[in-house]
């Protein structure tokens, strides 16, 4: 069986999937600096507490997509996006029904 090759097509679908984007202290620091905000301003405007209360997570747009997904389907904080976004999908176990919406997988 051949190995699946991945090439992101920048469709933005994974940024619309249900779920949360976790932030560690370094992500808060880097994203705030990138947006030229103080860390407190960034936390107030773009984050909330995770359901398990273990960390902060990014907020969502009204349609459920990540707050940083632009209308052009690109990540507005791409150079400093959180670790879980940078390691997607290589380090993820993606459910088949979601994987089918990712245009980057092909044989």
Residues that bind ligand SF4 (CB under 6 A): 8-15, 21, 58, 66, 68-69, 75, 77, 81-82, 85, 88-89, 102-104
Does the N-terminal peptide bond of residue 33 adopt cis geometry, omega within 30 degrees of 0?
Answer: no
3 versus 98: smaller Cβ distance to ligand SF4: 98
What is the closest distance, in whole angstroms, from the C-beta atom of residue 65 to ligand SF4 in the complex? 7
44 versus 65: smaller Cβ distance to ligand SF4: 65
38 versus 92: smaller Cβ distance to ligand SF4: 92
What is the closest distance, in whole angstroms, from the C-beta atom of residue 48 to ligand SF4 in the complex? 14
- Measured CA to CA, the distance from residue 43 to residue 39 in angstroms comes to 6
What is the closest distance, in whole angstroms, from the C-beta atom of residue 50 to ligand SF4 in the complex? 14
**DSSP readout, 42-101?**
HHHHHEEE-TTSSSEEE-B-TTSSBTTB-TTSSBTTGGG--HHHHTTTTT----HHHHTT
- Measured CA to CA, the distance from residue 43 to residue 30 in angstroms comes to 12
């Amino acid at each position: 069986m051949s190995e699946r090759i991945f090439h992101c097509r920048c469709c933005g679908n994974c940024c619309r999937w249900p779920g949360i984007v976790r932030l560690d202290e370094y992500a808060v620091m880097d994203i705030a600096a990138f947006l030229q905000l103080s860390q407190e301003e960034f936390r107030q405007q773009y984050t909330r507490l995770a359901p398990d209360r273990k960390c902060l997570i990014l907020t969502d747009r009204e349609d459920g997509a990540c707050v940083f997904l632009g209308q052009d389907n690109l990540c507005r904080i791409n150079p400093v996006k959180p670790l879980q976004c940078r390691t997607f999908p290589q380090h993820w176990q993606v459910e088949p029904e979601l994987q089918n919406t990712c245009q980057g997988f092909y044989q």
